[in-house]
């Protein structure tokens, strides 16, 4: 009897579980049995592994073969177990030393000719292996850079099963022909899901690696909206842009990622892990260093926003926008169920999706931008524009954004139509994204220094109890906010969010704590009621 084991990783959402792949050979009629709760694509690995082993020059054992995937209670899917199954079988057949593969994690799909093809989710799989104490990982050559992002792990990138057998057996490593450089590499097809990257803002826009990034200087006028955008970026506050069509709401939202600070190392790993599982990680860019941008169409379902799909849920738009921007254009056109499903991730920073196949926790700490028209035709607020929407239709349209959802939006700005002077440039160009990004970065550094030693890094994450007790404002600064709360203009949650915005405004002007003018700016951005305070972009 021959026995050997190798290791691989099963992904549940964006979290990995180390799976022990055990192979057992016994005398009897030649058969191949795969147990351990595999799905359809994993069951088909029997034929792939057999053909790959034979075409790699090794002999397939003509005995009763049983391959078990442990723990058997964890659902397993995908083709990433092929490499571990093949090595476990060869170890049981004594073609390779079983001790050489016992503590090695192997991830990769096998082609019928023995080539090792890349699969999605390599980064979260290697992270799970490192957390479990494994220090040696074998992955396809194309994803070796992604796996090498995990510190403390020795990564071996292989091109074929023949090469891996030679490495494990201390034999001369055969040369494998490289892909034809004159055409796209077909091996990379396993990393990208066709159509999955649309709207994420991550796919390269040109073949030479250069891409035009929208700049805030392209926006004509809109000083109030630009100020709100700067405050949103500095504190991580959600923003609602309301105005007629053509005023520049989409232009402003598309330029928000340009003023956000670069992702930290930990944030980059989180974002890269989610995008690797979703199949939208661009080839040749193993680590995402800038904030992602996701703009789903208003016909998106609730499952596509928060996560779902057949079997175990897959990441939705809120997870693809993790540590970045989620832009919902024409927000009232989204279904009510889809919008209300955003309320949990807006508060907690993650989404828990329960399905019959299991419960998955996905990261979803994003900055949400909503864009809405005042009425179905969009001309309700324009003087002499000829809006023919009846008042009942206007009320129904505006009521599509529910009160509990809007209560979680810190900033609400009315975007006015652009005047001729601003549009033709006679008023001069506005500040560039680089200038605004510098102030945003300084404001975030002040907030991080103030919140050092706490689990929060931005003002939007600080609980209301901390704002009211430990982080106190200037004496008498809250009088206007308290009056609004007594009149019913502000809720308790609204008062906390006004305090968060006020701290961000104070950080932008390099103040040690908010005063009455900062509270007034925060109240105006929250309620839309004019407070007689300057609302220009830049430090007040």
Cα angle 138-25-9, degrees, rounded to a multiple of 5 = 30
Task: Write down the mean pLDDT value for the chain.
Answer: 87
* DSSP calls for 84-101: HHHHHHHHHTTSS-HHHH
**Region 108-126: what's the mean pLDDT?**
94
Average pLDDT of the residues in 282-299: 86
187-196, 366-375, 439-448: the lowest-pLDDT one: 187-196
Find all residues with CB under 8 Å of 71, minimum gap 6, and list them. 17, 19
Task: Give the closest residue to 430 by CA, choosing from 214, 204, 257.
Answer: 214
What is the pLDDT, as a whole number, of residue 540? 42
DSSP secondary structure string, 518-532?
HHHHHHHHHH----S
pLDDT of residue 448: 93
Q: For residues 234 and 504, is the Cβ–Cβ distance under 8 A?
A: yes
More confident residue, 259 or 528: 259
Give the separation between CA 346 and CA 115, rounded to whole angstroms. Answer: 44
Q: Which residue has the higher pLDDT, 53 or 13?
A: 53
**Tell me, what's the pLDDT at 204?**
38
pLDDT of residue 187: 65
Residue 183: pLDDT band with limits 50, 70, 90: low
The reported pTM is 0.88
Name the least confident of 12-16, 47-51, 271-275, 356-360. 356-360
∠ CA 11-16-20, nearest 5°, is: 90
In this structure, what DSSP letter does residue 457 have?
A: -
Residue 125 to residue 90: CA distance in whole angstroms: 23
Higher pLDDT, 186 or 407: 407
DSSP state of 41: H
Q: Residue 237: which pLDDT band, with cuts at 50, 70 and 90?
A: very high
CA–CA gap between residue 104 and residue 239 (Å, rounded): 48
Long-range contacts of 177-185 (CB under 8 A, 24+ apart): 185/142, 185/283
Please, which pLDDT band fits residue 133 given cuts at 50, 70 and 90?
very high
pLDDT, average across residues 491-496: 86
Is the pLDDT score of 339 beyond 90? yes
Q: Is the pLDDT of residue 436 over 60?
A: yes
Confidence bin at 341 (pLDDT 50/70/90): very high
185: pLDDT confidence band, cut at 50, 70 and 90?
low
- Rounded Cα distance between 422 and 212, Å, is 23
For the chain, report the end-to-end CA distance as a whole number of angstroms: 79
**The token pair that represents 57 in the structure block:** 């020059």
In this predicted structure, what is the pLDDT of residue 220? 80
Helix count and strand count (H, E) for the chain: 22, 16
Q: What is the pLDDT of residue 218?
A: 83
206-220 confidence digits (pLDDT tens): 334 445 678 888 888
For the chain, give the percent of residues with pLDDT over 90: 56
Tell me what percent of the residues of the chain surpass a pLDDT of 70.
89
Residues 16 and 117: their CA atoms lie apart, in Å, by 20
- Reduced to 3 states (helix: H, G, I; strand: E, B; else coil), residue 372 is strand
Under DSSP, is residue 147 helix (H, G, I), strand (E, B) or coil?
helix
User: Bridge-partner residues for 21, per DSSP?
Assistant: 6, 69
**What pLDDT score was predicted for residue 192?**
63
């Amino acid at each position: 009897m021959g026995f050997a084991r190798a290791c691989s990783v099963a992904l549940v959402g964006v979290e990995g579980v180390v799976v022990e792949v055990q192979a057992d050979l016994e005398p009897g009629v030649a058969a191949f049995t795969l147990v351990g709760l595999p799905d359809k694509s994993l069951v088909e690995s029997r034929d792939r592994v057999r053909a790959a082993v034979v075409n790699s020059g090794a002999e397939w054992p003509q005995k009763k073969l049983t391959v078990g995937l442990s723990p058997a209670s964890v659902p397993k899917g995908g083709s990433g177990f092929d490499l571990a199954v093949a090595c476990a079988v060869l170890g049981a057949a004594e073609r390779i030393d079983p001790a050489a593969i016992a503590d090695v994690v192997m991830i990769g799909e096998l082609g019928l000719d023995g080539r090792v093809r890349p699969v999605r989710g390599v980064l979260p799989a290697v992270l799970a292996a490192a957390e479990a104490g494994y220090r040696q990982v074998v992955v396809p050559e194309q994803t070796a850079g992604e796996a090498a992002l995990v510190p403390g792990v020795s990564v071996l990138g292989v091109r074929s099963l023949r090469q891996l057998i030679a490495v494990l057996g201390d034999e001369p490593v055969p040369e494998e022909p490289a892909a034809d450089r004159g055409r796209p590499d077909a091996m990379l097809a396993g990393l990208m899901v066709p159509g999955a990257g649309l709207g994420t803002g991550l796919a390269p826009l040109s073949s030479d690696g250069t891409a035009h990034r929208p700049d805030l200087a392209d926006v004509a006028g809109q000083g109030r909206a630009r100020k709100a955008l700067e405050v949103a970026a500095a504190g991580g506050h959600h923003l609602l842009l309301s105005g007629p069509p053509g005023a520049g709401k989409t232009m402003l939202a598309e330029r928000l990622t340009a003023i956000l600070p670069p992702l930290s190392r930990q944030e980059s790993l989180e974002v890269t892990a989610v995008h690797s599982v979703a199949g939208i990680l661009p080839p040749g860019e193993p680590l995402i260093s800038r904030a992602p941008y996701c703009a789903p169409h208003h016909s998106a379902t609730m499952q596509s926003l928060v996560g779902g799909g057949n079997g175990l849920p897959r990441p939705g738009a809120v997870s693809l926008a993790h540590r970045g921007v989620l832009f919902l254009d024409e927000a009232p056109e989204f279904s009510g169920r889809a919008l209300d499903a955003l309320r949990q991730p807006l508060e907690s920073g993650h989404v828990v999706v329960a399905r019959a196949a299991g419960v998955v926790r996905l990261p979803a700490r994003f900055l949400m931008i909503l864009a809405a028209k005042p009425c179905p035709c969009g001309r309700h607020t324009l003087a002499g524009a000829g809006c023919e929407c009846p008042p009942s239709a206007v009320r129904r349209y505006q009521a599509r954004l529910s009160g509990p959802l809007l209560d979680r939006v810190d900033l609400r700005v009315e975007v006015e139509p652009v005047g001729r002077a601003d549009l033709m440039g006679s008023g001069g160009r506005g500040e560039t994204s680089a200038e605004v990004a510098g102030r945003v970065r300084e404001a975030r550094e002040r907030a991080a220094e103030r919140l050092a030693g706490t689990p929060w890094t931005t003002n939007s994450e600080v609980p209301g109890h901390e704002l009211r007790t430990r982080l106190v404002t200037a004496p008498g600064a809250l009088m206007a906010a308290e009056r609004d709360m007594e009149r019913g203009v502000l809720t308790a949650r609204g008062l906390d969010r006004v305090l968060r915005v006020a701290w961000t405004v104070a950080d932008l002007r390099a103040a040690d704590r908010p005063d009455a003018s900062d509270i007034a700016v925060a109240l105006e951005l929250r309620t839309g009621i004019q407070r007689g305070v300057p609302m220009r972009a830049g430090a007040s």
